[in-house]
Amino acid sequence: MFSLPKIAVAASGSGRSLVNLLGRKSFKVACVISNKKNCKAVAIAKENKIKTVMVSSFDEGFTHEINQQLFDQGIKLIVLAGFLVKFPVLENFKDKMINIHPSLLPKYGGKGFYGMKVHEAVIKSGDKHSGATVHMVNNEYDQGKVLAQIKVPVEPHDDAQTLAAKVFAKECVLLPKVIESLLL
Q: Rounded mean pLDDT of 168-174?
A: 98
This prediction's pTM: 0.95
Write down the pLDDT at residue 1: 55
Would you say domain 1-94 falls under CATH 3.40.50.170?
A: yes
Q: What percent of the chain has pLDDT over 90?
A: 90
- pLDDT tens for residues 75-102? 999 999 999 889 999 999 999 999 999 9
- From 64, 101, 119, 129, the catalytic residue: 101
Comparing CA positions, the residue from 114, 124, 123 lying closest to residue 87 is 114
pLDDT at 41 over 60: yes
- pLDDT, mean over the chain: 95
Rounded-to-integer distance, Cα 4 and Cα 6, Å? 6
157 is catalytic: no
pLDDT at 63 over 80: yes
CA atoms within 13 A on the CB side of 83: 30
Please give the CATH superfamily to which domain 100-184 belongs.
Formyl transferase, N-terminal domain (3.40.50.170)
Alpha carbon distances (Å) from 178 to 44, 51, 54, 124: 23, 23, 26, 30
Q: Where in the chain is the domain with CATH 3.40.50.170?
A: 1-94, 100-184
SS (H, E, C) 16-47: HHHHHHCCCCCCEEEEEEECCCCCHHHHHHHH
Residue 143 vs residue 59, higher pLDDT: 143
| Residue 2 pLDDT level (bands cut at 50, 70, 90) | low
